Amino acid sequence: MARRHYSAGAIALACALYGMLGATLSDTRRRTSPWRSAEAGWPTLRRWLQAVERRVLFRVVRPWPREALLRARAERVAATLVAFAPLPHLVSIEARAFEGAAFAGRD
């Protein structure tokens, strides 16, 4: 994605892992990011979700309630992107979110 170190698919994968599949932040980061960091947690995921909320990333995602937790926000993003996957035969949520991001990210 423009002005981001990660692709739309990687961002979608992170949202699916954390939001839909219940992975911890550290496991989500380990499975998505090739870089090591001394930062606690994964602030990048929070920044992505803030970008979605500001409608500069994945504008197709409907707004969430102000009080929605980080995991619920990631779930909303992932579920929206899964719905955009043109290949319903893809087995995993991760694959469908990744694929859907390519189509939803064209805004």
Which residue is it, tokens 């990687």? Answer: 10
- pLDDT above 80: residue 98: yes
Mean pLDDT score of the chain: 88
Mean pLDDT lowest for which of 34-43, 44-53, 54-63, 65-74? 34-43
Separation of alpha carbons 55 and 25, rounded Å:
23
**Is the confidence at residue 67, as pLDDT, over 90?**
yes
E strand or H helix at 43, and its extent? helix 43-53
pLDDT score at 40: 67
pLDDT given at position 4: 61
Cα-Cα-Cα-Cα dihedral sign, residues 98, 23, 60, 58? negative
